[in-house]
Structure 1
Amino acid sequence: MDVLKPDYTRFLGPESPDPVKTKYQPHARPIFSSPYGPFPPTPPDLNVHELCFPPQNPLPPDYPLFINAVTDERVTLHQFYHRVCALARVLQHDGPNPLKLDRSPVDDKEDGEIMGLFSRNHIHYPMLAHACFRSEIVFGGISPSSTPYELWWVLRKMQITSFVCHETLLHVFEEALKLGSGEGDKGSNLRLVLDPHKVIVLSDNPELDTVSGYPTVESLVRMGSKLPEIPRRLHGGNKLCFLFQSSGTSGLPKAMMICHKNAVHTAMQGMITATQSARFAGVEPLQPQRVLGVVPAYHSYGMILWILRVNLQQLTNVMLPKWDVELALRSIQKYKLTMLPLVPPLVRQLAQSPLTAKYDLSSVTTCSSGSAYLPSDVAYQLAEKLPQGASHPIPSGYGLSEAASIASPAAPGIFGLPESKPGTIGFLLPGMDARVVDPDTLKDVSKGQKGELWTRGNVVTPGYFKDPKATADIFSEPGWLRTGDLVMRDEDDRIIYLDRLKEMIKVKGLQVAATEVEDTLLDHPEGFVRDACVAGIDNGRGDGSLFVRAWVVLSAEGKKQPDEAVARKLKEHVESRLSRHKWLTGGIEIVDAIPRTPSGKMLRREMRDMYYARLKEKSKL
């Protein structure tokens, strides 16, 4: 198949539009599609590892693939591939199988081997993932910031049977095991099925064979390098590939299923858009890039960046074990990084940090944001500090765990498309269809009206693992994923993001978008606010209406004035800009920080819970 060719033309199918000559025609029909057209044809049983490393293609010339930003330790592309092959020989259930692994399930109707990956960003994390692809072991990425209870919950939700744990997180894992099998837990009927004999440690010391009695990843790579390679046909397609941990912004996390077909097409989307954008600009597509590696690898965004695109383009990824603003800036300068894929809190930190001016950022050609809503002011602030300048604000893409990449701003002019300014999430990505639907009536709304975004395409999940009720909730109609996001489709078929439906605040029958109020607070002319969270709180009247309450983190400028004065000025600013039902009737509270997931999603629920807990304590006095 063409998709396995060794050059960029693999990402162009017979129906791919010409980026210069083809002009996208917006329309008023309920279902609209990507200006990039459909995906190129792919083999129905393709395994994502073979998309990245087609068996008939020789490896390209070697280059550094992953670099540890702290230690400068490096893994080249050739080393990566040979290490993946070695580890896969050990993990194959039908090989020598020293770990006694079972066959993995093809879907959630079966039981079988599911390997948990519990680590911060690490230069060998992508190798673990590709070894699982190659050995057809299903794995689940787990947030390294999990508490023992959260880890215990996810181990059960994902039905993890084997486990890879970074050595610094062993204490969390051991505490999680003490919580037992889950008998008597009313929150889930899934029990802990982890086999303690199938635990592997990812150590930063490559010389170690064991840590705390567990074999290390390196010892298994060494073992596999001595085993013969037995040629075998890899299977993919609709088979289960890996599990995502959902963000848990509205309750404890769920496990999201991703099949090989989802992973293959998610990987291809970025390659198609990059190829078409280069052709539009008249330059050679998919030129080498050097990338800042800070987005978490366990997350859907990080999975795309560090795992699904290996060898699809020459990318040298400089990995940060955790976020550190000065380490990031130093890495940009030292390695002359060209691409900065970020999440909104990191965009804001880089935009507002005085350290940014002390480093040479002239190598940066691309900066983008994803995973959560990016306020317009921040998109312009960071762009001002980069070579692109404020005339090219940081674009923000859109996706979900359930469909990792759905929409993104396009290069202005490509397919005749207009610019997507901050506040929009751009146009549908390759292979995607969408509708905007009234969430109550489930009827399509007209252009320019608010509604829930529904989408379909090969990147959309089959559903939640062993949770048919939750799956049914996101598929009201077969094939159409309900995103839970309130959007508007404009006259050019751009998508304008408004808010999470669950975060819409109902005030006397009128809807208030929390993000609109947050943006207004962040946009105060005196720059008082560094971060803001807005949510609805009970008005105490029992009529279902809510008060709008804000929690703000002050900037250095805001801290110069008394809290009462700042709160008063912020309240007056909101009232001068917004309609009465959007006013802060629930008050303003100054806090030290706004809780967020590692990927940047704001945890409004936690702010509400803390507020109600304080009220409850006061009522006891």
Structure 2
Amino acid sequence: MYIRSPFPPLPPLPDTNCYNFLFRTPDRLALEDYVMYIDAVTGRKVTRYQFIERIYDCMTALGTSQDKGGLGLGNDCVVGILSDNCIDYCTLIHALLGLTAPFALFSSYATPHELKHFLNRSKSTHMFVHADLLEKFLSVAREEDFPFENIFVLDGKVTSGLKFRSLDNMITEVRRNQLPKEPVRAAGKDTLAYLVFSSGTSGLPKAVMISHGNLIASMFQTMIMMMEVAKVKPPPPDFHPVTLGFLPIYHSYGLHGLCLRPPLRPSTIVIFPRWDLDLVLSSIPKYRITTLLAIPSVIHTLLSSPKFANTDLSSVVAILSGAAYLPPSLQRKIGNVVKTASLSEGYGMSEATLSVVGNLPTEGLMKGILHVSSNIGILFPGVEAVILRPDGTHCLPDEPGDLYVKGTNVALGYWNDSEATKSTFIANGWLKTGDRFRVTSKGMFYFEDREKDTLKVSGLQVSPAEIETTILAEPSNIISDVAVSGVQLPTARTSDDKAPRAWIVLTEKGKKLSEDQAKTIVADWVKKCLSKYKWLRGGVEIVDEIPKNPTGKSHNTGTLRAFIF
């Protein structure tokens, strides 16, 4: 089944640096000043004009040649960023875009084991690290012989005796020395903008290459949808969105929602270092929050808190949920509590820059298309899709199948991984999503299940292969084989929220241990090596063998679980 977006098509993409599109078009240059960011912890406010001035000073500090006091960064560098959310995270990102210096986003929850993978896969030449995460990264830098002179502090105070240049100090030096402003550099549609890690359809996390053209296409998608919504539901006069900003910027959803999209129109982001329920609930009435960017697990957490129902939510007019499937039951519950808000849901992946399908519960938006709570929505502007059977033939309307999408928002591929690129970014610009959907004759998408070899845990991707590789590397040599899959626990917040479970085969040495000892060793090793959301909350089971297909690969989740149980 072939589906084309019902929205108007995207205009031709300008061959320009994404920074120009975000900040330097005539309508954006004409914007009056307003508060763009608020630090939720300190209350510090930064206006749009202040933010842009700091971006230019940051560009000058980073882009000026080393002999003149700068870092000399350009498109031959990759700048890794390891930080919790902060306003200067956004400053740094826009400065690097302006300089066409690609950046790589590292999870602030990553363990040293994971950081090594990110560092080696991205081939980062420079690192900006939050002071609170510096010691963790330095342990990796020592092992990997990463030059300390290329490590810089993005935000926070360093408590160790070691001294590193900070971004704030570099900007201060630019202003004190009155260095000439570094200009925005030329970029084409295929110029690399950044790397974001994704497990893709299988295997270890891979670095997705997003171009300046991908970013502009994604921005156009948002703008077209906003214009179409405004035709049938104009925003109130003088409406100024104020958004809760707790989603991590290292994730595509947080990156776009808190950093890349805000310059498109006057709005304010209240930015949180990390998720903090009490701070979130106190900030909603304090700052008259209008927009919640959320994931299903956060919505579940809010609804489970007695404080939420007692919070003044009268300012909230929009809730956007993404990163994982939001069940209709949760949609109804949040709608009953936040009665003033419309609820939108979207589906996307980093390999498509951000989103490909979404619903906008606005009556009359599309003729003949009625939003209901059980569907994900319709294709975003400029996106084409096909739903295919396993044999490659087209599905009929309402027949579940594998989703493939195409559009100028589809990424360039995986950085330094041609094999993975070939298997996911296939012929003629099509992207294999690894997810299964059914689509009605009117183009409404319904999520079926995840065909790809990844799990969703609280909206985050978890690669079974990464956990398997970690377990097999356990140094006591008690594991001869392992398979990891997802199981649904009674505490699961959504229908596709799975907990990783490992099935292990013991070596002769391992068989000398008690089952409890072996399971504890495996579980503790995973806790040591991997982020908390990858821990084996589904447990560890000991089996005699792991079922394999004729090529030696573990069978898929359904076959594996049927075999085990």
* Residue equivalent to 1:116: 80
* Residue equivalent to 2:435: 485
1:379–1:395 CA contact under 8 A, matched in 2: no
* Residue equivalent to 2:346: 397
Question: In the TM superposition, what is the alpha-carbon distance from 1:450 to its structure 2 partner?
Answer: 0.9
Question: In the TM superposition, what is the alpha-carbon distance from 1:326 to its structure 2 partner?
Answer: 1.8
Hey, what's the Cα distance between the residues in 1 that align with 2:532 and 2:186? Answer: 36
1:342–1:368 CA contact under 8 A, matched in 2: yes
Matched, 1:339 2:268: no
RMSD: 3.2
Matched, 1:413 2:364: yes
Question: In the TM superposition, what is the alpha-carbon distance from 1:477 to its structure 2 partner?
Answer: 2.3
| TM-score, normalised via structure 1 length | 0.72
Matched, 1:437 2:375: no
2:197 to 208, 231, 245: 245
Hey, what's the Cα distance between the residues in 2 that align with 1:388 and 1:174? Answer: 47
Matched, 1:611 2:540: yes
* Residue equivalent to 1:552: 490
3-state SS in 2 of match to 1:179: helix
Q: Describe the superposition over 1:90-121 as per-residue Cα deviations: whole angstroms up to 9, x where unpaired.
A: 211658663544532xxxxxxx3000111111
* Residue equivalent to 1:260: 212
Q: Describe the superposition over 1:233-288 as per-residue Cα deviations: whole angstroms up to 9, x where unpaired.
A: 53232100000011589543211100000011112222221221012214479942
3-state SS in 2 of match to 1:425: coil
* CA gap 1:233/1:124 in 2 versus in 1, 3 angstroms: closer
* CA gap 1:209/1:137 in 2 versus in 1, 3 angstroms: farther
3-state SS in 2 of match to 1:502: coil
* Residue equivalent to 2:263: 311
Matched, 1:53 2:28: no
Matched, 1:128 2:122: no
Hey, what's the Cα distance between the residues in 1 that align with 2:335 and 2:84? Answer: 28
* Residue equivalent to 1:227: 179
**1:106-185 aligned within 5 A:** 112-180=76-144
* Residue equivalent to 2:506: none
Hey, what's the Cα distance between the residues in 1 that align with 2:112 and 2:329? Answer: 37
1:89–1:227 CA contact under 8 A, matched in 2: yes
Q: % of aligned pairs identical?
A: 30
* Residue equivalent to 1:92: 63
3-state SS in 2 of match to 1:436: strand
Question: In the TM superposition, what is the alpha-carbon distance from 1:496 to its structure 2 partner?
Answer: 0.6
Matched, 1:359 2:330: no
Matched, 1:370 2:318: no
* CA gap 1:612/1:502 in 2 versus in 1, 3 angstroms: farther
1:209–1:218 CA contact under 8 A, matched in 2: no
3-state SS in 1 of match to 2:438: strand
Hey, what's the Cα distance between the residues in 2 that align with 1:615 and 1:330? Answer: 53
Amino acid at match of 2:17: N
3-state SS in 2 of match to 1:303: helix
Gapped runs of 5+ residues in structure 2?
465-483, 494-525, 546-565
Hey, what's the Cα distance between the residues in 1 that align with 2:98 and 2:124? Answer: 19
Question: In the TM superposition, what is the alpha-carbon distance from 1:307 to its structure 2 partner?
Answer: 2.0
Hey, what's the Cα distance between the residues in 1 that align with 2:235 and 2:169? Answer: 44
2:73–2:99 CA contact under 8 A, matched in 1: no
* CA gap 1:298/1:211 in 2 versus in 1, 3 angstroms: farther
Amino acid at match of 1:133: L
1:249–1:601 CA contact under 8 A, matched in 2: no
3-state SS in 2 of match to 1:553: coil
1:338–1:363 CA contact under 8 A, matched in 2: yes
Q: Describe the superposition over 1:509-549 as per-residue Cα deviations: whole angstroms up to 9, x where unpaired.
A: xxxxx99xx9xxxxxxxxxxxxxx9x9xxxxxxxxxx9995
* Residue equivalent to 2:5: 34
3-state SS in 2 of match to 1:128: helix
1:121–1:297 CA contact under 8 A, matched in 2: yes
| TM-score, normalised via structure 2 length | 0.78
Matched, 1:425 2:376: yes
Amino acid at match of 1:428: L
1:265–1:459 CA contact under 8 A, matched in 2: yes
3-state SS in 1 of match to 2:312: coil
Matched, 1:465 2:415: yes
Q: Describe the superposition over 1:358-393 as per-residue Cα deviations: whole angstroms up to 9, x where unpaired.
A: 21000000001001111221111111111337xx6x
Q: Describe the superposition over 1:563-583 as per-residue Cα deviations: whole angstroms up to 9, x where unpaired.
A: xxxxxxxxxxxxxxxxxxxxx
* CA gap 1:113/1:230 in 2 versus in 1, 3 angstroms: closer
2:54 to 83, 86, 94: 83
* CA gap 1:415/1:502 in 2 versus in 1, 3 angstroms: closer
Amino acid at match of 1:157: R
Hey, what's the Cα distance between the residues in 2 that align with 1:36 and 1:287? Answer: 25
Question: In the TM superposition, what is the alpha-carbon distance from 1:292 to its structure 2 partner?
Answer: 0.4
**1:495-510 aligned within 5 A:** 495-502=445-452
Matched, 1:295 2:247: yes
Hey, what's the Cα distance between the residues in 2 that align with 1:285 and 1:272? Answer: 20
Hey, what's the Cα distance between the residues in 2 that align with 1:61 and 1:253? Answer: 42
* CA gap 1:312/1:213 in 2 versus in 1, 3 angstroms: same
Hey, what's the Cα distance between the residues in 2 that align with 1:222 and 1:280? Answer: 48
Question: In the TM superposition, what is the alpha-carbon distance from 1:228 to its structure 2 partner?
Answer: 1.4
* Residue equivalent to 1:204: 156
Hey, what's the Cα distance between the residues in 2 that align with 1:97 and 1:612? Answer: 60
* CA gap 1:211/1:236 in 2 versus in 1, 3 angstroms: farther
* Residue equivalent to 2:510: none
Hey, what's the Cα distance between the residues in 2 that align with 1:113 and 1:409? Answer: 39
Hey, what's the Cα distance between the residues in 1 that align with 2:367 and 2:161? Answer: 58
Amino acid at match of 2:143: L
3-state SS in 2 of match to 1:419: coil
Amino acid at match of 2:364: G
Hey, what's the Cα distance between the residues in 2 that align with 1:250 and 1:67? Answer: 38
* CA gap 1:414/1:214 in 2 versus in 1, 3 angstroms: same
Question: In the TM superposition, what is the alpha-carbon distance from 1:453 to its structure 2 partner?
Answer: 0.7
Question: In the TM superposition, what is the alpha-carbon distance from 1:448 to its structure 2 partner?
Answer: 1.2
1:257–1:461 CA contact under 8 A, matched in 2: yes
Query: What is the count of residue pairs matched by the alignment?
Result: 481
2:10–2:382 CA contact under 8 A, matched in 1: yes
